[in-house]
């Protein structure tokens, strides 16, 4: 199989996931779906960020290891094509740790502590004063990941924008100090996908494995059915004849995300809000759409899962290819830092 | 040339220097002299810590690069034998950065901030709130250096003992969490050399390039003569007939460190303290000893400096050999962390 990207002059885009659990509809809407498009427009690197996942999973490293192949299966099942996208495993590219090491000299402790994303995640994870150093410093690690591949575009959630800003600060400081005539590192641009975050089936703002409110991409037909039954709708919509509300109504939010028959959906919304339409009808439509959408993904996933050796081979080839790129950048950085001798 | 260590079952010792300037008598007394002995007792790794030197020399990286070969010349000139000791360049062993990356997850920010050595150096370097992250985290980097070679012994100054304690905390935490039946990492023991720190020629506590109070190992005969003339003695010893004092008298401190004729020295001290012995006589003795001691070192250094390519070759071979050891440790660590896939 050729792993050559179709267009080597296209801009580089870096995306990825922490492999801590199976991917779900939230990932599909927020990123996976876009990546299938990106791979025809950009040179796409997709990183399985296992090393970064360890920063707050040092007590359950087996989970990270297990999920590397599971997440790769999700990638391939949704249509990420290893002949177009380079899928890599972060920990297998030591240059990423090496770049991180040097970038730590370009950022102050105070600056890291001011990073809003880091601050929010420290609160979220309940670290308080016992923050692992690797967690505080992970913006430097992320800057290493982005710059190693000279990515000019990084799709992120709104809340991750400060990470991109910090990366660019490091890039500018590096180029200013060690760049000479030609900039060595490349600044990147955050793109925030139009469709925002998908709520969980329980109506909470975020679909998240740890909240148990997800529909996984590999979910069985029964699991999809059961999940749709639980989908949060309008608590004031007690009788079919009552007018229903759309705001915060997860069934309609999901339909907005996945229903391609926009006209039919608009009619259904109108009917629902004026009253006379039961939740069961809405959920039936939603279930049908999700079943249709996920059935081929599940089938591909099951087929691929039969030969995990082949999946590992794809990861190996992608990682090897990515490492060549990262090693080239590391070489330039090492030279700029005066750390070349032999 | 064979780079085989004479005894591969001997304990491993790690020593080294930040290559930020030529080495001087203070290094000779505090460490170099001992290393010449250690290399017959231990498997000695001597690290040119260029990557660590960057943590507070990012504004003058040329200095670090230049001094790698200069410090190596000092090593070889004093009798460090590359067939017995493995001399390595830190930055050329990416596994050291990689280990650092993972150790950062095993130490909290609060713990790093409490490290007395780090605290003292932050004050000394005037960092205050603008501490580069790489500086705060350098205990993790030092732990990486020590454990990569499975060093059981690390000679350090009194002030560096907290670094060794922090290294061992990381080792214990790693082994406890990921070690399984067999410990992967090795705890190390600090040894503090008997002869303490040599004062500067001006009487200040520390001989230091930045204070301009050193006698370099490569000093010319004239430089040695000029330096000895400046050596701080007893400011109350105005006339030859006055009784002189030994405390804080750098001429006598140096004689204590270098004069092998202990009896003759004792007599001279007695004469000096009861009065009737001029500083010039003491300094003459000191100069003679230093000239005799440094002349062969300087000669060897000049000889070696004629072929820097050969010095680089020695560093290349040492680094290559050291990298094999570090890569082996990294492999074990990666496996323990569940980061092996292919």
pLDDT tens digits for range A273-302: 999 999 999 999 999 999 999 999 999 999
Residue B2 has pLDDT above 70, yes or no: no
Cross-chain Cβ contact B132/A108 below 8 Å: yes
Lowest mean pLDDT among A194-198, B152-156, B289-293: A194-198
Quote the strand ranges of A200-299, DSSP E. none
Q: Which residue shows structure tokens 């067999």?
A: B182
Calculate mean pLDDT across residues B237-264: 95
| DSSP designation for A91 | G
Residues of B in contact with A20 (CB under 8 A): none
Place B90 in a pLDDT band, splitting at 50, 70 and 90.
very high
pLDDT in tens, A245-263: 999 999 999 999 999 999 9
pLDDT in tens, A149-171: 999 999 998 889 999 999 999 99
Q: For all residues of chain B together, what is the average pLDDT?
A: 92
The CA-atom distances, in angstroms, between A283 and each of A162, A196, A200, A223, A296 are 38, 22, 15, 14, 21
Q: Least CA distance to B94: which residue of chain A? A: A98
CB atoms near residue B311 (< 10 Å): 21
Cross-chain Cβ contact B89/A341 below 8 Å: yes
More confident residue, A181 or A340: A340
Tokens of residue A295, six digits: 């059935």
pLDDT in tens, B17-57: 999 999 999 999 989 999 999 999 999 999 999 999 988 77
Distance to chain B for A91, nearest Cα, Å: 7
Q: Least CA distance to B57: which residue of chain A? A: A105
Cross-chain Cβ contact A338/B108 below 8 Å: no
In contact, A233 and A251? CB cutoff 8 Å: yes
pLDDT in tens, A66-101: 999 999 999 999 999 999 999 999 999 999 999 999
Cross-chain Cβ contact B54/A337 below 8 Å: yes
Q: Which residue shows structure tokens 């709520």?
A: A199
Which of A133, A175, A329, A330 should we substitute to test contact with B (largest number of B Cβ atoms within 10 Å)? Answer: A133
The CA-atom distances, in angstroms, between B59 and each of A172, B55, B112, B125 are 15, 10, 24, 14
Residues of B in contact with A68 (CB under 8 A): 341
Q: Name B120's Cβ contacts closer than 8 Å, sequence gap at least 6.
A: B159
Cross-chain Cβ contact B92/A341 below 8 Å: yes
For chain A, the maximum distance between any two Cα atoms, rounded to a whole number of angstroms, is 81
Q: Which domains occur in chain A, in start order?
A: 12-198+308-336 (3.40.50.620), 218-301 (1.10.240.10)
Q: For position B196, what pLDDT does the model report?
A: 67
Q: For all residues of chain A together, what is the average pLDDT?
A: 92
Q: Which of B161, B168, B118, B172 is nearest to B143 (CA)?
A: B168
CA B159 to the chain's CA centroid: 13
Cross-chain Cβ contact B133/A107 below 8 Å: yes
Quote the strand ranges of chain B, DSSP E. 12-17, 43-48, 85-89, 153-155, 189-191
Cross-chain Cβ contact A334/B68 below 8 Å: no
């Amino acid at each position: 199989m050729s792993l050559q990207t179709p267009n080597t002059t296209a801009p580089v885009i870096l995306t990825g996931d922490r492999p801590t659990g199976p991917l779900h509809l939230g990932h599909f809407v927020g990123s996976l779906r876009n990546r299938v498009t990106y791979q025809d427009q950009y040179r796409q690197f997709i990183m399985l960020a296992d090393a970064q996942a360890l920063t707050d999973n040092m007590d359950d490293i087996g989970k990270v290891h297990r999920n590397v192949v599971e997440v790769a299966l999700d990638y391939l099942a949704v249509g990420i094509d290893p002949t177009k996208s380079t899928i890599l495993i972060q920990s297998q590219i030591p240059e990423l740790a090496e770049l991180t090491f040097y970038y730590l000299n370009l950022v102050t402790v105070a600056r890291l502590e001011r990073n809003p994303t880091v601050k929010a995640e420290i609160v979220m994870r309940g670290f308080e004063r016992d923050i692992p150093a690797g967690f505080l410093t992970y913006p430097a690690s992320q800057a290493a990941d982005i710059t190693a591949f000279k990515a000019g575009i990084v799709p992120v959630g709104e809340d991750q924008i400060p990470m991109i800003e910090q990366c660019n600060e490091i890039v500018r400081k590096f180029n200013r100090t060690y760049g000479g005539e030609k900039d060595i590192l490349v600044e990147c641009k955050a793109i925030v996908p139009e469709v925002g975050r998908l709520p969980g089936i329980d109506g909470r703002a975020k679909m998240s494995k740890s909240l148990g409110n997800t529909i996984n991409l590999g979910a069985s037909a029964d699991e999809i059915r059961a999940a749709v039954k639980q989908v949060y709708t309008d608590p004031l919509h007690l009788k079919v004849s009552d007018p229903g509300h759309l705001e915060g109504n997860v069934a309609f939010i999901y339909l907005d995300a996945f229903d391609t028959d926009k006209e039919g959906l608009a009619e259904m919304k109108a009917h629902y809000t004026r009253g006379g339409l039961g939740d069961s009808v809405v959920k039936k439509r939603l279930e049908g759409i999700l079943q249709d959408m996920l059935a081929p993904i599940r089938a591909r996933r099951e087929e691929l899962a039969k030969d995990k050796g082949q999946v590992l081979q794809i990861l190996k080839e992608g990682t090897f290819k990515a490492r060549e790129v990262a090693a080239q950048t590391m070489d330039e950085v090492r030279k700029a830092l005066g750390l070349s001798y032999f």
